[in-house]
Amino acid sequence: MIKLSSGEIAPKTGEYNVISSNGRCVGTVHVKKGDRMPPTQSSNNHFEIDA
């Protein structure tokens, strides 16, 4: 499992789950390898994708 924050560089292309501070998936975003991760609605959220 790869965990990323907003602004970090995506290590691979794919659908990233947006995970809230309580561990729930609150959405998904499609990001291409090398692009920066987009902002989230809360600063406590992060992105996850299977390695």
Assign 3-class secondary structure to the chain: CEEECCCCECCCCEEEEEECCCCCEEEEEEECCCCECCCCCCCCCEEEECC
Q: Is the pLDDT of residue 44 over 90?
A: yes
d(CA 17, CA 8): 15
Residues 8-39 pLDDT 10s: 999 999 999 999 999 999 999 999 999 999 99
Q: Is the pLDDT of residue 51 over 90?
A: no
Segment 40-47 mean pLDDT:
94
Domain boundaries, the chain: 2-49
pTM of this prediction?
0.90
